[in-house]
Amino acid sequence: MALAVTCALASSLLYALASVLQHRAAIVQPSGAAMRLGLLARLIRSRIWLLGLAFDGLAYALQFIALGHGSLVLVQPLLVCGLLFALPLGAWLAGGRMTRRDWWGAGAVVVGLSTFLIMASPGKGHAEVANRDWIILFVVTGVVIAGLLIGSRGGGSRRRAALLAAAAAVNYGVTAALTKAVAHLLDGGIENLFESWELYVLAGAGVLGMLMAQSAFQADELDASLPVLTVVDPVVSIMIGAFLFGEGVRFGPVPTTVEGIGLVLMTVGVFALSKAEVVRASATGVPAAPK
């Protein structure tokens, strides 16, 4: 359990840094490139995007280890902590400092996340999942993602960024479940892994998720997409963990209410942190104004 928590926290930092770097490269791309593989072809020529991709790769490796030793309900919410680590670093890089509002947002994330995890007390669950349950998951999440992608075609750029980010986050929840399954299959040996369908679906879902996330970054400023990505992913993962892997979460009038309050508090904190001046500055490359 300690290894899962440590790897999840380290992964969260690297994911947050990767998002900031990739946003800086994606937002300058033409709008017509969104949701086309050509967008990734353009981005791969950017050194800063490649650096972000390297951070993504390291983060995923740590997430893989975490999911191999812990539950989805535990690991995925901990990825929210990336903003807590990225903010002080972003302040240092941008030449500014965190404001009182930033610290209140950070506190809300910590308290909300702690409240949820302590009250939910998630169980480890099981690693074996029936193909029928996978099919149900793919159909339900596929319909949700398709609806979000269709909805993103209308409205302003911030709406587009938010809906694309939500689609990417739902996809990330699915890829996290597949990652947990692949980590379990790896225990049976490399040969067993390459004979499984989960590995290949994971690879395809990973490319799709990257395309949706980069399109969200390309659409508007980071504060339009990052909060949605950060919040929706763990919420979807919690539901998948409970449904697919039997990772028990405490239910009942009091536990469910407290868990809900914790998630709401965490969400408020994430949205507050995403609007921090140091986040905007590190995403655009413009130094923050001294406080």
Q: Is residue 215 included in any domain, yes or no?
A: yes
Q: Is residue 56 included in any domain, yes or no?
A: yes
Confidence of residue 94 (pLDDT cuts 50, 70, 90): low
More confident residue, 99 or 7: 7
**Average pLDDT score over residue span 46-51:** 94
Confidence of residue 279 (pLDDT cuts 50, 70, 90): low
Q: Is residue 218 included in any domain, yes or no?
A: yes
Q: Is residue 251 included in any domain, yes or no?
A: yes
| Average model confidence (pLDDT) across the chain | 85
pTM, rounded to two decimals: 0.84
Q: Is residue 66 included in any domain, yes or no?
A: yes
The number of folded domains in the chain is 1
More confident residue, 13 or 139: 139
Q: Is residue 289 included in any domain, yes or no?
A: no
**Average pLDDT score over residue span 242-259:** 84
pLDDT in tens, 206-241: 999 999 999 999 998 877 888 888 888 888 998 898
Q: Is residue 290 included in any domain, yes or no?
A: no
Q: What is the pLDDT of residue 126?
A: 80
DSSP state string for the chain: -HHHHHHHHHHHHHHHHHHHHHHHHHTTS-GGGTTSHHHHHHHTT-HHHHHHHHHHHHHHHHHHHHHHHS-HHHHHHHGGGHHHHHHHHHHHHHT----HHHHHHHHHHHHHHHHHHHHH------S---HHHHHHHHHHHHHHHHHHHHHTTSS-HHHHHHHHHHHHHHHHHHHHHHHHHHHHHHTT-HHHHHTSHHHHHHHHHHHHHHHHHHHHHHHS-HHHHHHHHHHHHHHHHHHHHHHHS------SHHHHHHHHHHHHHHHHHHHHHHT-HHHHHHHHTPPPPP-
| pLDDT beyond 50 at 31 | yes
pLDDT in tens, 169-196: 999 999 999 999 999 888 878 887 888 8
Q: What is the pLDDT of residue 287?
A: 42
Domain coverage including residue 255: 2-284
Q: Is residue 214 included in any domain, yes or no?
A: yes
Q: What is the pLDDT of residue 265?
A: 92
